[in-house]
Amino acid sequence: MQPSPPQAVGTLQSIGKALIGSIWLLATACFFPPLETRPLAEFGRTLFGVLAVVHAVECVAFLGVLRKSARPLVENLWQTFLFGIIHVSIVRGEIEARGGQA
């Protein structure tokens, strides 16, 4: 039995959040032993910086959409900083389901 489209989208969003969360954890771990001395460490620290900058830009770029949400703005900003466009797409879906314009 194949899931309906909304279930499939929700599943993909959950997988995306898990994947991005895992990448954040790996990148953060590269600042601490034992990974800080491994060849992967420099890449992980660079990746951490790139994630932080890109997701901070997304927070600013999507601020208008995040303000339209019924959720607290701080929660939306934090989730956007962690998960980026995946969280913004969830918020847009919630806004549209309420009958608003994202």
Q: Look at residue 51 and tell me if it is in a domain.
A: yes
Report the distance separating Cα 26 and Cα 31, nearest Å. Answer: 9
Q: Look at residue 2 and tell me if it is in a domain.
A: no
Output the 3-class SS for 56-97: HHHHHHCHHHHHCCCCCHHHHHHHHHHHCHHHHHHHHHHHHH
Report the distance separating Cα 92 and Cα 66, nearest Å. Answer: 8
Q: Look at residue 62 and tell me if it is in a domain.
A: yes
Give me the pLDDT at residue 4, please: 56
Q: Look at residue 64 and tell me if it is in a domain.
A: yes
Report the distance separating Cα 37 and Cα 15, nearest Å. Answer: 30
Q: Look at residue 102 and tell me if it is in a domain.
A: no
> What total number of domains does the chain contain?
1
The whole domain housing 90 covers 7-97
Q: Look at residue 32 and tell me if it is in a domain.
A: yes
Q: Look at residue 11 and tell me if it is in a domain.
A: yes
Q: Look at residue 86 and tell me if it is in a domain.
A: yes
pLDDT tens by residue, the chain, 102 residues: 455 566 777 899 999 999 999 999 999 999 999 989 888 899 999 999 999 999 999 999 999 999 999 999 999 999 999 999 999 999 999 999 988 766
